[in-house]
């Protein structure tokens, strides 16, 4: 019984260390927890930069639009946003 507990504990610690090693250690990852599907031309004209949030570190995929002093999380499947991103690749930053 004790041997099973020790083995389970070692497996848990190994999994935890493996997961921690996969995460970037020098940056904090802030993730969108929900996305909006609403995007309009007026909003897109105010975008300073954008980046993709992938589901590798975060629970959902999103496009993060940096507008003035805040970030807006938009559904990456939004057709209007996709067309805008293709035209504005120069504003793209590193992905999360």
Segments making up each domain of the chain, as ranges: 29-91
Q: Is the pLDDT of residue 35 over 80?
A: yes
Q: Which of residues 48 and 30 earns the better pLDDT score?
A: 48
Q: Residue 68's pLDDT is what? A: 87
Query: What pLDDT digit, counting tens, does each position of 76-95 carry?
Result: 999 999 999 999 888 777 66
Mean pLDDT over each residue of the chain, to the nearest integer: 81
What CATH class has 29-91? mainly beta
Q: Give tens-digit pLDDT for 40-53.
A: 999 999 999 999 98
CA 79, 54, 89 angle in degrees (round to 5)? 55
Say yes or no to pLDDT of 65 above 90. yes
- H or E element at residue 57: none
When comparing pLDDT for 75 and 57, which is higher? 75
Q: Report how far residue 80's alpha carbon sits from residue 40's, in angstroms, rounded to the nearest whole number.
A: 8
| pTM score | 0.65
């Amino acid at each position: 019984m004790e041997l099973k507990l020790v083995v389970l504990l070692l497996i848990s610690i190994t999994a935890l260390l493996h997961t921690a090693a996969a995460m970037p250690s020098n940056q904090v990852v802030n993730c969108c927890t929900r996305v909006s599907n609403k995007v309009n031309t007026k909003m897109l004209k105010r975008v300073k930069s954008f980046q993709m949030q992938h589901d590798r570190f975060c629970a959902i995929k999103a496009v993060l639009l940096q507008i003035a002093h805040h970030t807006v999380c938009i559904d990456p499947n939004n057709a209007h946003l996709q067309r805008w991103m293709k035209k504005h690749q120069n504003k793209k930053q590193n992905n999360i």
